[in-house]
């Protein structure tokens, strides 16, 4: 049973899928190709319900994106899982899950069943050092992760909150206030854990600008070997066209176009509010301000911040209740 789990987290649309795809075919890391959402969806459920949900979720992911929508373009790129025997995966997982009695065993069952499929594709299970799972928001359950997997490692990827907002709001009904509250809540976990050896903070922009340099740092931190496969995005070892981080004409490589500041199309009012409320985070992450720092150097005296902050407080109180 492997206890070295590598979790990837961060706010949605911050680059978690990009990082997952680049680690996908490293022969010392088993990367489940889709989000398990184990801790956000299953963790607190009763055992029988938990087992049923695990089977439905994990097997359903591969079935849905292989059989029903194979080669169709979905919001985070093409998937081709046609070479995976999803029925065998489901049957093996079912046997293992019903012999499992705790979260550690459940997670290991998912990866063991998946590893059988990768072995058929030439993967050597003897080389495996890490299981890797990516779900945006994993960081919110970091205390549970540490409790279940004391040897775990965590990569938190963060993106310029203005670009993150521009991308995320196309798929969310969050107000700007709600977005800023949840973004800040997510990143606060990084602040709390930045000095811990198990925690790695990665800026999305750095990964896009210099993928090899930043992946080499991650590989060194994980104490695994460099492999050229790290520069090619894949899902279950198969071709993956990527999302906005990749060039449609050359999808096999990271595209610097993703560094284009699309947030520039936001209204000045929205930009000011994001920069004001997340002022300290901008400083910490070394993101440039669109508006003069003198204008927002004391956010509490800033008109945008004062009104905005009151709305945030209301959201926070409703969230806690």
Task: Give residues with Cβ within 8 angstroms of 164, minimum separation 6.
Answer: 11, 13, 14, 183
Domain locations in the chain?
5-164+198-259
With CA atoms as reference, report the closest residue to 15 among 139, 176, 134, 171. 134
Alpha carbon distances (Å) from 240 to 18, 71, 209, 244: 10, 10, 20, 12
Per CATH, which fold does 5-164+198-259 belong to?
Answer: Rossmann fold (3.40.50)
- The position carrying tokens 């806690």 is 320
Q: The whole model's pTM is what?
A: 0.86
pLDDT score, position 68? 35
Question: Could you list the pLDDT tens digit for every one of the 321 residues in the chain?
Answer: 677 999 999 999 999 999 999 999 999 999 998 888 889 888 878 888 888 888 887 776 676 554 334 444 445 666 777 778 888 888 999 999 999 988 899 999 999 999 998 888 788 888 899 999 999 999 999 999 999 999 999 999 999 999 999 988 877 778 898 999 999 999 999 999 999 999 999 999 999 999 999 999 999 999 999 999 999 888 888 777 665 554 444 445 666 556 677 888 899 989 988 998 898 899 899 999 988 666 555 544 444 445 555 555 554 454 443
**Whole-angstrom Cα distance, residue 132 to residue 190?**
19
DSSP state, residue 139: G
pLDDT score, position 70? 40
């Amino acid at each position: 049973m492997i206890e070295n789990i590598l979790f990837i987290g961060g706010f949605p649309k911050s680059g978690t899928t990009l990082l997952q795809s680049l680690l996908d075919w490293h022969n010392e890391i088993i990367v489940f190709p889709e989000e398990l959402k184990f801790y956000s969806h299953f963790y607190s459920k009763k055992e029988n319900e938990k087992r049923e949900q695990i089977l439905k979720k994990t097997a359903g992911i591969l079935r849905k994106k292989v059989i029903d929508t194979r080669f169709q373009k979905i919001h985070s790129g093409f998937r081709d899982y046609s070479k995976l025997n999803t029925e065998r995966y489901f049957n093996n997982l079912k046997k293992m899950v019903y012999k499992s009695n705790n979260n550690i065993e459940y997670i290991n069952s998912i990866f063991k069943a998946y590893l059988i499929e990768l072995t058929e594709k030439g993967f050597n299970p003897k080389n495996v050092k890490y299981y890797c799972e990516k779900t945006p928001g994993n960081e919110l359950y970091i205390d549970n992760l540490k409790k279940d997997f004391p040897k775990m490692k965590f990569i938190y990827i963060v993106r310029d909150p203005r670009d993150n907002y521009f991308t995320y709001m196309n798929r969310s009904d969050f107000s700007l206030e709600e977005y800023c509250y949840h973004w800040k809540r997510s990143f606060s976990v990084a602040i709390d854990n930045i000095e811990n050896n198990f925690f790695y903070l990665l800026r999305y922009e750095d990964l896009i600008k210099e993928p090899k340099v930043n992946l080499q740092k991650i590989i060194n931190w994980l104490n695994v070997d460099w492999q050229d496969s790290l520069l090619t995005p894949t899902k279950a070892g198969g071709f993956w066209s990527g999302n906005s981080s990749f060039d449609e004409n050359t999808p096999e490589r990271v595209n610097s176009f993703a560094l284009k500041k699309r947030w520039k199309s936001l209204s000045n009012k929205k930009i000011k509010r994001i920069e004001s409320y997340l002022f300290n985070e901008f400083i910490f992450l070394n993101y440039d301000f669109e508006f003069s720092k003198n204008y927002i150097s004391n956010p509490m005296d800033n008109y945008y911040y004062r009104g905005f902050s009151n709305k945030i407080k209301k959201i926070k109180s409703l969230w806690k209740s």
